[in-house]
Each structure stands twice: as structure tokens, then as C-alpha cells.
Amino acid sequence: MKLNIQDTFNQELPADPNKNNTRRQVMEACYSFVTPKIPSHPKLVHVSTEMANELGFDNLDINSQSFLDTFTGSRVTPNTHPYAMCYGGHQFGHWAGQLGDGRAINLMEVVEKNKRWALQLKGAGATPYSRTADGLAVLRSSIREHLCSEAMHHLGVPTTRSLSLCLSGDKVLRDVMYDGNADYEKGAIVCRVAPSFIRFGNFQIFASRGDYKNMKILTDYTIKHFFPTIKNDDKSKYILFFNEVLDRTLKMIIDWQRVGFVHGVMNTDNLSILGLTIDYGPYGWLEGFDKNWTPNTTDRQNKRYRFGNQPSIALWNLYQLANALFPLVENPKPFEQALEKYKKNYVFLFHEMMKSKLGIEHNEEEDHQLIVEVENTLSLIETDMTIFYRSLSNIKKSDNLKTAFNKIKDSFYDEDLCTFKVKLKWNKWLENYLSRIQKEKLSDAERKKNMDLVNPKYVLRNYMAQLAIDKADQGDYSLINKLYELLKFPYQEQPSQEKWFAKRPEWARHKVGCSMLSCSS
């Protein structure tokens, strides 16, 4: 297995001089060196061949002992210096102080096909940032992270990736619903991959400690390696940097809203500085369209991170990042302007994204109302978001109301709930929709083609991941690969896989792991 190792983070940035793996506050350093825990019986469960190929690994590499050793932390690759990053964060709106990579260990950076990739193990043991926890991860959450990162990538949503999923062979104690019923589960290790894992919180921790010297070093490093178009060398570069982080974050959020993804824990330590979806914990996919839905039971009361709140939470997080970076610029105006721009751009980009979901190309005055009303109407009775939008592209300009309605009615969870009043509202919306698409130049077939490229047919529904988990718990890992293969082509019709284009089954409605997820992972 050949690795073109080109470390930068642990070469160019200040390290914690203390090399002991004891839990502590780490000052004036971006990371601490740490060695992964050696797993007792490591076993490969699944590899993303797509990601492996990006990294230059062929089948022989994937099946080699060296691959297993490297990506389970059994052996540290010569000339590499694994480390855990120091960061802080606002959790659920409150400053939480130092957090850091409590169960993530960065192995190395490699450059392959002109792309830089950081390789990071999640669940490979404790670090100085583990606080009171064990640094380990369980199989169920690792399956969820592995499958979803790759599925999001194939959906075209900016995301960290996942190379491999392995069993450690060790048992991990977890209290899934935090109700005193702790039990042992299988331990697992995922190898995550991204150009960088730097988060908003990496900057915040220095700002919170008044350590602007190191914040500047980290910011300059980030710009140099990951924002190469920024060439300015005065304070203005930090403004350009903030603007680009803001634009990338907004783009990611628009994609989340497009596909119905709810992150679940949008704390500032879980927001990537590169605008990538990161830290797949208690995430979920909208089944019934509901702006108030969150899968995270830990957030059940306030629903801070509910679907409809994601755009404004991202903005709130960007305010925190602006506060952190402010000392590098000492002028609030350009930050305020950027944050104002987010609001304006959000309105525009959301509108454009919704138009694409509806198959509308040019602009008409009525479009705004059509978009507002589709969301209102979708919220009347439980209606499957994915099935609705995918079915909508089957409507033809010449359809009458009855035909059009019949094409979308399979997205209702319970057709009996579609009362006369609800049907009236759908008919009203469909009437407007039909007259609107009649104004479009594209043919029905062309419109369908465009719509089917933005409205996925297959997403990792919460119950699908849970089915893979239940099987894996019994030692059958086959569904992991089946779902991985299915989700490689989320926008394509896959006739043999039609069973996954279905509403959530009733058994999954209130099942732990399907509609209810905690942060315990």
C-alpha cells in the first residue's frame, strides 16, 4: 500500500509539548500528539471503494494486512505522527469551552491525484480531549456515519467522506437513551477523510483564551492550504476568508434543505471551516415533510436544530465565528456586511433551489407564492418529502387535476387523512402548478430530467440504516454494502431496488434509532 504522505497540520502548526495521553486543558497549541489504541480483534467490515480509489488504493491494497493495521490504529505508519485537534465550541447555544478530538485521531495527510486528504480514525481511543468519555465508538453509529457520508457525497452535498468501517473486537458500554439502561455494544472504527477537519471551534478556542497569536497562525495556515484563491496579504484576507466560509456554509445548508437532511447537532464544533457536512451523529432524513422535526432526542424540548431552523442556526454559528476572527481585523463592519449578505443570499438561493425542485426555469411573479404554498400544503397531513418531489416530475403540462393528484397521492402516509378540505388545498396548489409549468418552454420530458437530478429517488432513510444495524448486530454485514451500492446513484432509477423507494414502515415510526436518536454513540 503506497501512501504519498504530506503532513502539514502537525508540521506547520504549534503542537502541545506534553506527549502524555492525559485529559487536560491544552493551551497555545492546535493539537496534541497521541497514539491510537490497539484494537483486540480488528476486522474489516466495509470499504468505500470510491473513496479508496480516490486515495489510489486498489483491491489488493484494500484487502492487505497493512490496510487493516493502518485504518484500525493497530500500527502507526512509519514517518507519521498522529494527533488530536484542540477546539472548543458553542453547544446548544452556550459556550462549552475546550472540546477537541475526544475520539478522533488524525493519522496523516496524503496527496493523491492533486488532492490533499486528511485521514482520521473515529473511535480509536482516548485523547487529551476525551474529558470523561472513552474515546470509542459503537458499531451502530459507525455504520450510520460511514453510509451517510458516502451517500451525501453521491447526492452532491459537500461532506466529509468515509473510507472504511472496521470492528475493533472490543466491547463498548453505552446507555443509548440515557435512561440508566447501559449495555455493552460492539466497538467500531471509521476512517474519515476530508481535505481538513478544521472546525469553527478551532478558531473559537483561541479567541476565547485571548490567544490571538495562535489564532492568526491557524487562520493563515487555513487560508494558505484551503483557500488558495485568497492572495491578499493584509488584514483584508481575513475578510475574504470569512466571506468564503460563509458562502460555502450557505451552499451546504441549501443542499441539506433540498434533500431533507437534518444534522441534529449543529454546534459550532460540528461546523467545518470548509463548509462540509461533518460529524454524523443523531442526524436524520425527513420522511413526512415537517419543518419542526429533529431526530435528536437530546434536543426534543427546544428543537433548536430542527429542519426548518438549520439556515438560521448556520447564520448564528457564523456570528460566533465572526466574533472569534474579529481581533484579526478589528473592524466589525465587513463582518456585519458579510452576515447581512448571508440573509440576502439565502433568500435568493433557497428560491432558486426550490424552483429547481419544482422544475421551474424562468422567473414569474407567482413563483414565491407557489413555493410558500407547496411547503404549507405538504405540512397539512403527513406527506413523504422524497416521494412527493420525485413523483412531481411525472406530472405533465396537459394533465388534468385528477391525473396530477393521482401522481402525488402515494406520498401521503395515510390517504384517509386526506379529507375533502386537504384535497381542496392540494387541488388549488396543483392547479397553480399546472398553469405555472405550462408557461415553461421545456418539454415534459426535459423538465422531468432536470427535476430528477435534484430530487433524489433514494436517500438513507432512518429505518434503512437501522435495518443494516440490526443485521450487523447479528453478524450479517451484507445490507451495509447493498445500501452503499444503492446510494451511489441516488438520482437514478434502479428498478430492482424499488423497495427502497417507499415510505417509512409503521414499525419504524417510534423506534429508537429510526425516528429517535440520542447523542450516545
Residues with catalytic function: 269
Piece in contact with ligand AMP (CB under 6 A), picked from 126-134, 149-157, 190-198, 506-514: 126-134
User: What is the per-residue DSSP string for 461-487?
Assistant: -HHHHHHHHHHHHTT--HHHHHHHHHT
Contact 264, 282 (CB under 8 A): yes
Piece in contact with ligand AMP (CB under 6 A), picked from 99-107, 149-157, 223-231, 363-371: 99-107
Q: How far is the CB of 107 from ligand AMP (least distance, A)?
A: 16
Using CA atoms, how far apart are residues 23 and 133, in angstroms rounded to an integer? Answer: 10
CB closer to ligand AMP out of 260 and 281:
281
CB closer to Mg ion out of 222 and 270:
270
Contact 191, 71 (CB under 8 A): yes
Residues in Cβ contact with 178 at an 8 Å cutoff, skipping those fewer than 6 apart = 298, 518, 520
For Cα atoms 41, 175, 70, give the angle at the middle one, nearest 5 degrees. Answer: 25
Q: How far is the CB of 40 from ligand AMP (least distance, A)?
A: 18
Using CA atoms, how far apart are residues 332 and 90, in angstroms rounded to an integer? Answer: 21
CB closer to Mg ion out of 219 and 270:
270
CB closer to Mg ion out of 67 and 129:
129
CB closer to Mg ion out of 88 and 456:
88
By CB atoms closer than 10 A (0-12, 13-18, 19+), residue 119 is: buried
Q: Which residues ranging from 257 to 276 are in contact with ligand AMP (CB under 6 A)?
A: 265, 269-270
Query: Residue count at the site for Mg ion (CB under 5 A)?
Result: 2
Q: How far is the CB of 392 from Mg ion (least distance, A)?
A: 36
Using the rule CB under 6 A, is 134 a contact of ligand AMP?
Answer: yes
Q: How far is the CB of 100 from ligand AMP (least distance, A)?
A: 5
Using the rule CB under 6 A, is 99 a contact of ligand AMP?
Answer: yes
Using CA atoms, how far apart are residues 140 and 122, in angstroms rounded to an integer? Answer: 13
By CB atoms closer than 10 A (0-12, 13-18, 19+), residue 317 is: buried
Q: Which residues ranging from 245 to 284 are in contact with Mg ion (CB under 5 A)?
A: 270, 279
Piece in contact with ligand AMP (CB under 6 A), picked from 54-62, 129-137, 357-365, 465-473: 129-137
By CB atoms closer than 10 A (0-12, 13-18, 19+), residue 332 is: exposed
Exactly one of 100, 260, 284, 456 binds ligand AMP (CB under 6 A); that residue is 100
Helix axes 139-155, 462-473, angle to 10 degrees: 140
| C-beta nearest to Mg ion: residue | 279
CB closer to ligand AMP out of 187 and 275:
187
Piece in contact with ligand AMP (CB under 6 A), picked from 41-49, 127-135, 466-474, 488-496: 127-135
Binding site for ligand AMP (CB under 6 A): 99-103, 129-130, 133-136, 265, 269-270, 279, 281, 519
